[in-house]
Amino acid sequence: MTLFEKIAAGQIPARMVAQSDHWIAFHDINPQAPVHVLIVPRKVIPRLGAAVEEDAPLLGELLLAAGTLARQLGIDQTGFRVAINHGPHAGETVPHLHVHLIGGRQMEWPPG
């Protein structure tokens, strides 16, 4: 089981923000901004490049959840960033696709 599967199963505690039948959202344990939430599908997809056509509705649901959570967390007006890392050079540390919702501070471009 991946770390995120264990969190979804309640085997590892997390500061949950929201959840649905298809995903969970919780605060990152190493936040890079005042708001840093991970949105994780319950279905294990190792990384974005491993997603298949049948995953399209789930991927869309993750992005819609990011927008909804940004509003709920009060970062929709000032701005927020959504990131999905793929592979070690991108900073991927858990082989389970997840969306980073980051906000609450000025973001730099290009990202690090």
Stated pTM of the model: 0.96
Does residue 98 carry a catalytic annotation?
yes
Amino acid at the residue 46 = P
* Residues 6 or more apart whose Cβ sits within 8 Å of residue 99: 38, 39, 40, 62, 63, 65, 66, 82, 83, 84
Average pLDDT in the 57-83 region? 98
Instruction: With cut-offs at 50, 70 and 90, classify the pLDDT of residue 112.
Output: confident
Active-site option among 22, 89, 96, 98 = 98
CATH top-level class of 3-103: alpha beta
Domain-wise residue ranges, the chain: 3-103
| Between 87 and 111, the higher pLDDT residue | 87
